[in-house]
A = this chain, B = another copy of it.
Amino acid sequence: MHKVQPALLRGFDQEYLPREQLQFNALIEIIRKNFELFGFLPIETPSAERKEVLTSKGGVEKEIYALSRLAADAEGDEASTKGALRFDLTVPLARYVAMRERELAFPFRRYQIQRVWRGETPQARKGRFREFYQCDIDIINRDKLSYLAEAEIPSVIYSVFKEMAIGEFRIRINNRKVLKGLLQDFDVADRDSAAILRVLDKVEKEDASKIRDDLVREGMASSQAERLYRLISLKRTTDETLDALAELKVRNEMYGKGVAELRNIAAAIRQFGVPDSAFCVDLGVVRGLDYYTGTIYETTLVDHPGIGSICSGGRYDDLASYFTDTKLPGVGISIGLTRLFSKLREAGLLRPAPRTPAEVLVTTMDHQYLGRYLAIARRLREAGINTEVYLETAKLKNQLAYADKKGFRVALIAGETEFGRDRVQVKNLSTKTARECALEQVVSAVRETLNDSSKEESS
């Protein structure tokens, strides 16, 4: 028979073995739990949206996958003629809020953990794929939004990455008004500022001369480019940076407003319980996107700067102006989880999944005792312990090899000898030691062995 090659599409290839999938799911659970701890509510949106919804903000058309019909002779439907896959979770959020404005409670705090698709060139080295997970939170209000929302976001990020325990991290914040005010002060025309910001956005990745050259190419005088570069690449403590900004001789209203906001928000972030070791004001945070208007965020791992930002976002003044006249200011961040996972794995920073679904294997030496094996499994499951019964006919040795390969922590073993005395062997698969217990005590004996085995693993 002709065989089809079982292979994946480039960029649609972040598929894991069960053991890795468990690690991935553990990260999702940490993110979800912390988002919920702060009162964010879950939503999911359809994978495909109307093309005009996705392109309403413009700019990314080239990266969007549209839907079509596979069979050439199939009649098109609405999805295959008018639909395309979302490339982020922000545009669907804008559409969602505009559609359901009357039913939602404002401030609307939502989280969303779903896949998005982008037709970029995949680069595993950079953790860039065509299909990947984003984990977003946003706080959206009608008409106005307190600066405290901007200060709260870092406390959520802090809580997520602290629990992930992936090493020291720093939430770096800046303010768009500060950047825009600076550019105005440098006489950069508004229409050129987007290009300048895109150059500055690379300040962490490119060397000084490249950045300065690019600034000059975008129309800045060489001396100004030098001054701007030095300012942006300043690395000091939060308070020193705030003082330096205040002392700059910049007479620009937007700049003044931005510096005041930065100062207030930095103070509030401390009140929200984020220690100074975990956040800083950093003028090198720029963000490519045009639509941010206040605080902008990036988060980096201190010992792994090469991974780049693992969580980014910012404040915007109007989420859904393309869909509704209601003014909807908001603030949000996104964790690119597929990329983060891939980089953490590469850096050896992933911990084994804390608890696998495969805890106990009930081996079956003799199928005439099937009823007993199944009864043991039922009792363990009723106690909330994940339990599998080995249902094939195989030598005990092979059953135990299966248990090891799948990652079980405990095996139960019993045949005529044990059942004759109403007992069962409980084998700790990490230490390879076994003990016997009365059938009636099987739940507590397994629990103890699972506890021993997790101590073993974490020691």
Interface of A toward B, CB cutoff 8 Å: 1, 3-18, 21-22, 24-25, 35-56, 61-62, 64-71, 74, 77-80, 82-85, 94-96, 98-100, 103-107, 109-110, 115, 117, 119, 121, 130-131, 139, 141, 144-146, 148-149, 152, 159, 268, 271-273, 320-325, 356-358, 361, 370-371, 374-375, 378, 381, 384-389, 391-393, 402, 405-406
Pair B119/A15 contact, Cβ less than 8 Å? no
Q: Contact: A9 with B117, CB < 8 Å?
A: no
Chain B residues with CB under 8 Å of A11's CB are 77-79
A12 close to B374 (CB less than 8 A): no
Q: Which residue of B lies closest to A109 (CB)?
A: B388
| Interface CB pairs A-B, < 8 A, 27 | A1-B322, A4-B53, A6-B324, A8-B49, A9-B48, A11-B79, A15-B96, A17-B100, A18-B41, A35-B357, A37-B357, A37-B386, A39-B387, A41-B356, A41-B406, A48-B131, A62-B70, A62-B71, A65-B67, A65-B68, A70-B84, A106-B402, A146-B391, A148-B370, A148-B391, A268-B370, A273-B375
Given known contacts A12-B46, A38-B387, A70 and B64 CB-to-CB distance under 8 angstroms: yes
Report whether B99 and A6 are in contact in the complex, using a CB–CB cutoff of 8 Å.
Answer: yes
- A393: chain B residues at CB < 8 Å are 146
User: Which residue among A41, A61, A98, A149 has the maximum number of chain B CB atoms within 10 Å of its CB?
Assistant: A41
- Indicate which residue in B43, B69, B378, B381 contacts A16 across the interface (CB closer than 8 Å): B43
Inter-chain contact A271/B370, CB cutoff 8 Å: yes
Bound complex: CA A61 to CA B248 (Å):
65
Give the chain B neighbours of A22 by CB distance below 8 A.
Answer: 41-42
Question: For residue A35, which residues in chain B have a CB less than 8 angstroms away from its CB?
Answer: 357
Tell me how far the C-beta of A369 lies from the nearest C-beta in chain B, rounded to whole angstroms. Answer: 11
Q: Is the CB of B41 within 8 A of A358?
A: yes
Contact of A79 among B51, B65, B268 (CB under 8 A): B65
Question: Does A83 lie within 8 Å of B39, measured CB to CB?
Answer: no
Q: Is the CB of B53 within 8 A of A6?
A: yes
Closest to A406 in B: B105
A80 CB contact (under 8 Å) in B65, B77, B271, B402: B65
Residue of A9, A10, A323 with most chain B CB atoms under a 10 A cut-off = A9
What's the least CB distance linking A373 to chain B, in Å?
A: 9
Is there contact, CB below 8 Å, between A18 and B36?
no
Interface centre among A5, A103, A121 (most CB of B within 10 A): A5
Measured CB to CB, the closest approach of chain B to A319, in angstroms, equals 12
Min C-beta distance of A417 to chain B, whole Å: 22
Residue in chain B with minimal CB distance to A321: B1
Let me know if B10 and A99 touch, CB within 8 A.
no
List the 4 shortest-distance A-B pairs measured between CB atoms, nearest first. Answer: A39-B388, A36-B357, A18-B41, A105-B405
Q: Would A65 and B70 count as touching, CB distance under 8 A?
A: yes
Q: Which of B18, B37, B99, B324 contacts A3 (CB 8 A)?
A: B324
Nearest CB to that of A36 among chain B residues?
A: B357
Contacts of A98 in B (CB 8 A): 6
Minimum Cβ distance to chain B for residue A427 (Å): 16
Residues of B within 8 A of A5 (CB): 52, 323
Bound Cα distance from A402 to B9, whole angstroms: 46
If the complex has contacts A36-B386, A100-B17, are A119 and B77 also in contact, measured as CB distance less than 8 A? yes
CA distance A70 to B87 in the complex (A): 12
Q: Known: A9-B82, A148-B391. Contact between A4 and B100, CB under 8 A?
A: no
Partner of A39, one of B46, B358, B370, B392: B358
**Besides the known contacts A5-B52, A65-B80, 18 further A-B residue pairs in the complex with CB atoms under 8 A apart:** A3-B325, A4-B53, A7-B53, A18-B110, A24-B44, A25-B42, A38-B386, A47-B115, A47-B117, A62-B71, A64-B71, A65-B70, A66-B68, A67-B85, A77-B130, A105-B406, A139-B391, A271-B371
